[in-house]
Amino acid sequence: MSLLEKLRPQFHAAFPRLASGNYVHFFLVRHSQSFPVFQTDGVLNTARTQAGLESEGEKSRQLITRLVMFKRKQVTPERLVGRQLLRSLGLTSAVEGENNFCEYNSQKSCKKCPDCIIYGFGIGDKGAERSKVYSDSAFSLSPYETSHRSFTFNAPSENGTMSEKGEMRNSINDLDHVLPEVTFPSVETLRDPTFEGFIYVLGNLLRTRRYGGQESRTGTMTNHIIGIAFCDGEVFSNLYFTQAIYDALSAKGDTQVPIGEVRQQAAMVAENCLRKEPVRSTIISGNELDSLLEEVIGMYQDEARLRTTMSTLCQKAQTYSETYGALVLEKKKAEKKKAEQGSSI
């Protein structure tokens, strides 16, 4: 039996009405592959934090400035990748007027597709759905000083020079960029998981490659999943996870190490931290995790299986919406109208 099949009983057969106390935590290390820009108002987002968690030990106790990847900068690109997949399979539509039309983050959200139901929406008095995906700001493992660089870009004209019709172009752009190979340890959580929802959220983590400012178009990142835990409660924060990894690495001598080593330490730290949490938990890591990820990747490569899984997900999301969600009222109204029409004949 495949690992995914073995895990199936851990999931809800349908989206439950109320939070059930079932959580899947994805432990990951986000790893920059080029020069992402995570900024508001022209400067990179940073925060002063303690380097590690220890109260003793000079290195761990020191305050350092860390780069910050706000929650929205993580989840928005992942949602967009998922929505793109649903459209490419013809399960949702970008064409207004079509039955399965959904517009992201607007009054025209459909309130019933997997994106609306899993990641949530809020459209004033037209209804809201709380997100079932929890995430929070992520912090760079390494300090800001060694993790960024400011670049000045000249924006040449179409002929490739800095002058146009004899005049110098004045389009120089000064932008603070995150450097390649900076890591952001994170925990992303899915509550009340269905099997298909789990595949969807995990797939979005594996398939999202671009984060940060759209204007830069250089924000490639890789998400290394280093553990997946099934728990009956929430667990430690991104900052705590980052600080614990910092301590583990500095105990070994150096915090600036290759990604392979960060992954290894992060996996061990996730297990150790989980053991201290007041929750029941099962963690999948190491070889078991590798084969699970292989299975999930295999599913994303197989159109027929992917289509079946995502179609089931869409049905479950719609059923939830019509039974407990924002579509209940609309459905009632439609039924009432039908009944009235029926009685007037």
Which residues make up the interface to Zn ion (CB under 5 A)? 102, 110, 113, 116
Beta carbon nearer to Zn ion, 30 or 83: 83
Retrieve residue 257's tokens: 């190490």
Nearer to Zn ion, 103 or 232 (CB): 103
Give CA separation, 263 vs 37, 94, 227, 269, in Å.
Answer: 23, 38, 10, 10
Give me the DSSP letters along 182-243. Answer: -EEEEEEEEES-BHHHHHHHHHHHHH--B-S-TTT---BEEEEEEEEEEESS----HHHHHH
**Looking at beta carbons only, is 127 or 227 nearer to Zn ion?**
127
- Asked whether the beta carbons of 239 and 64 are under 8 A apart, the reply is no
> How near is the Cβ of 194 to Zn ion at its closest, in Å?
16
Distance between CA atoms of residues 201 and 326, nearest Å? 22
Give the nearest distance from C-beta 136 to Zn ion in angstroms: 24
Q: Where are the beta strands (DSSP E) in 42-164?
A: 43-44, 46-50, 63-69, 121-122, 128-129, 133-134, 138-143, 148-154, 163-164
Measured from the CB of residue 27, what is the shortest distance to Zn ion in angstroms? 28
Provide, rounded to whole angstroms, the least separation between the CB of residue 311 and Zn ion: 15
* Comparison of 196 and 247: residue with beta carbon closer to Zn ion: 196
Whole-number minimum distance, CB 119 to Zn ion, in Å? 9
Closer of 57 and 120 to Zn ion (Cβ): 120
